[in-house]
């Protein structure tokens, strides 16, 4: 890493031969230099984008990196302490994220049911086309119209007022139902809800890519213990002379890199870091989409879509606020990992200017299949697919198709108790909540 710095020293007689690609560059016209610069820039950056992987500079990265550096150095006490603390903070993060997700799941699967709330599904989606359009019957059994669409809190309050009047004056029931209109529970904007679900998926994508990067590194690095830390003394000059020129300290001569890892360490990282991280991401995505799909008001949807992303940022918050400066400095100093085909892909480093210009001219001949694939926004399409998957999962779990083709809530049953375990929250299909047999609400078929 330090040998190439000798080429930066002016007037060095022993800096080595000058490569062909660096001769006569000042004599080239601006257009040629621009083409060479573009070819080099795109060749290097595309190779780094495809084959360079960096660890998450947070709790997950610390739990993988710090123990390997401690192992490489022979487990000194100070690094061993940092390793233990990294796992401690990782456990704290799991508890914090898990508890928040548990509470959200309990709210959706227990307390909302005891409050008498049915699932929102697509209630009120076509309120502007009612009463003549399809799916105009609301959960209260009356016809939708735009002025009669309310959020759950407002609708239940208005229903309570009407039912209280009926209870006080039962002989005036027909007149109360005629004059006191509670409206219907429905979504204010179906497309705003869908847009916010998509934006929420974008916010959680970075956490998913972090898990994918950890997986790629664990698969690519050798299954043998290698050194993750090195002391690189420059060979092109005396160490003190090099430090004086560049303003280095001894810390700048310490190199931290991702290297080989024994199989048992890989297995440990898979079960302690990777699988819990992916599980938390899955549950957060499911709970977040469900929470947004259950939000009827436009303002509430927008605010909730931003607030839900905070769950997956708890690890970064704990890292910035609680972890030591030493640990964060180590994570910031770790070098990016280059996958197997990186050296092959970054061939522009060894190509002459003439070869780069030839490649540049070849790229102007037309679009091929690889060029068409490069224009395809893979990440954006992946966001759409994930959003579609989790939204459809919400519909499959909580909604049924009505006779007119709309999606309405399935019949609602009360839980047998308020007991709700972490298995109920994180593995709902395997450990479902026990429900009563008789439903407390079923979808009305026709308006009265």
d(C-alpha 357, C-alpha 353), whole Å: 6
Domains: count for the chain = 1
pTM for the whole thing?
A: 0.80
d(C-alpha 255, C-alpha 205), whole Å: 30
pLDDT higher than threshold 50 for residue 3: no
Please answer whether residues 416 and 434 qualify as being in contact, where contact means their C-beta atoms are separated by less than 8 angstroms.
Answer: yes
In this predicted structure, what is the pLDDT of residue 240?
Answer: 79
Q: How far is CA 241 from CA 1, 12, 104, 223, 399, in A?
A: 17, 13, 60, 39, 72
- DSSP letter for 108, please: I
Q: What band does 405 get if pLDDT is binned at 50, 70 and 90?
A: confident
- Residue pLDDT, tens place only, 4-43: 444 444 444 343 444 444 445 555 678 788 877 877 787 7
Q: Is residue 100 part of a domain?
A: no
Answer positive or negative: Cα dihedral of 358, 363, 369, 373. Answer: positive
Q: How far is CA 3 from CA 15, 238, 370, in A?
A: 10, 12, 37
d(C-alpha 90, C-alpha 159), whole Å: 47
Q: How far is CA 76 from the centre of its chain?
A: 35
Q: How far is CA 209 from the centre of its chain?
A: 7
pLDDT higher than threshold 60 for residue 230: yes
- DSSP letter for 56, please: -
d(C-alpha 23, C-alpha 284), whole Å: 56
Q: Is residue 406 part of a domain?
A: no
Q: Is residue 404 part of a domain?
A: no
CB neighbours of residue 430 within 10 Å: 8
Answer positive or negative: Cα dihedral of 319, 322, 326, 327. Answer: negative
Q: Is the peptide bond before 147 cis (omega within 30 degrees of 0)?
A: no
Q: Is residue 160 part of a domain?
A: yes
| C-alpha closest to that of 52 among 260, 371, 335 | 335
pLDDT higher than threshold 50 for residue 1: no
- Residue pLDDT, tens place only, 367-381: 667 667 677 788 889
The whole domain housing 161 covers: 152-185
Q: Is residue 169 part of a domain?
A: yes
Q: Would you tell me the crossing angle of helices 275-293 and 190-220 to the nearest 10 degrees? A: 180
Please answer whether residues 260 and 222 qualify as being in contact, where contact means their C-beta atoms are separated by less than 8 angstroms.
Answer: yes
- Residue pLDDT, tens place only, 237-294: 777 777 788 787 888 888 899 999 999 999 999 999 999 999 999 999 999 999 999 9
Please answer whether residues 316 and 217 qualify as being in contact, where contact means their C-beta atoms are separated by less than 8 angstroms.
Answer: no
Q: Is residue 172 part of a domain?
A: yes
Q: How would you classify the pairing of strands 254-256 and 229-231?
A: antiparallel
Q: Is residue 99 part of a domain?
A: no
Q: Is residue 321 part of a domain?
A: no
Q: In this structure, what are the phi and psi dihedrals at residue 169, rounded to the nearest 5 degrees?
A: -130, 70
Mean pLDDT over 86-98 rounds to 92
């Amino acid at each position: 890493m330090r040998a190439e710095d000798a080429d930066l020293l002016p007037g060095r007689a022993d800096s080595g031969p000058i490569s062909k690609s660096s001769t006569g560059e000042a004599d080239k016209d601006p257009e040629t230099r621009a083409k060479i610069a573009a070819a080099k820039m795109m060749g290097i950056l595309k190779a780094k984008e495809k084959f360079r992987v960096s660890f998450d500079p947070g709790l997950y990265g610390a739990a993988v990196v710090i123990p390997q550096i401690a192992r490489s150095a022979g487990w000194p006490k100070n690094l061993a302490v940092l390793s233990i603390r990294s796992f401690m903070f990782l456990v704290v993060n799991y508890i914090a994220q898990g508890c928040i997700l548990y509470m959200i799941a309990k709210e959706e699967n227990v307390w909302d049911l005891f409050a008498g709330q049915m699932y929102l599904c697509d209630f009120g989606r076509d309120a502007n086309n009612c009463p003549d359009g399809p799916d105009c019957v609301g959960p209260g059994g009356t016809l939708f119209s735009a002025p009669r669409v309310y959020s759950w809190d407002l609708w239940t309050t208005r229903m309570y007022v009407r039912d209280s009047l009926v209870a006080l004056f039962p002989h005036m029931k027909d007149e109360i139902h005629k004059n006191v209109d509670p409206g219907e529970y429905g979504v204010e904007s179906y497309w705003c809800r869908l847009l916010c679900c998509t934006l929420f998926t974008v916010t959680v994508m970075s956490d998913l890519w972090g898990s994918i990067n950890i997986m790629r590194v664990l698969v690519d690095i050798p299954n043998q213990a290698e050194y993750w830390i090195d002391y690189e003394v420059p060979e092109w000059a005396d160490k003190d002379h090099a430090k004086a020129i560049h303003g280095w300290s001894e810390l700048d001569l310490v190199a931290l890199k991702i290297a080989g890892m024994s199989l048992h360490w890989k297995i440990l990282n898979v079960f302690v870091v990777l699988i819990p991280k992916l599980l938390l991401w899955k549950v957060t995505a499911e709970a977040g989409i469900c929470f947004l799909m259950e939000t009827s008001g436009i303002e509430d949807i927008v605010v909730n879509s931003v607030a839900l992303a905070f769950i997956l940022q708890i690890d970064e918050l704990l890292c910035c606020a609680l972890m030591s400066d030493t640990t964060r400095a180590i994570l910031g100093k770790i070098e990016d990992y280059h996958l197997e085909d990186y050296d092959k892909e970054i061939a522009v480093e060894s190509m002459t200017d003439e070869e780069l210009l030839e490649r540049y001219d070849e790229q102007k001949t037309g679009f091929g299949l690889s060029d068409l694939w490069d224009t395809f926004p893979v990440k954006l399409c992946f966001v759409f697919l994930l959003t579609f998957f989790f939204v459809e999962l919400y519909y499959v779990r909580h909604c049924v198709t009505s006779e007119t083709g709309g999606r309405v809530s399935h019949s609602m049953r009360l839980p047998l108790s308020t007991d709700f375990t972490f298995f109920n929250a994180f593995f709902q299909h395997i450990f479902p909540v026990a429900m009563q047999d008789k439903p407390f609400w079923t979808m009305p078929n026709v308006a009265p």
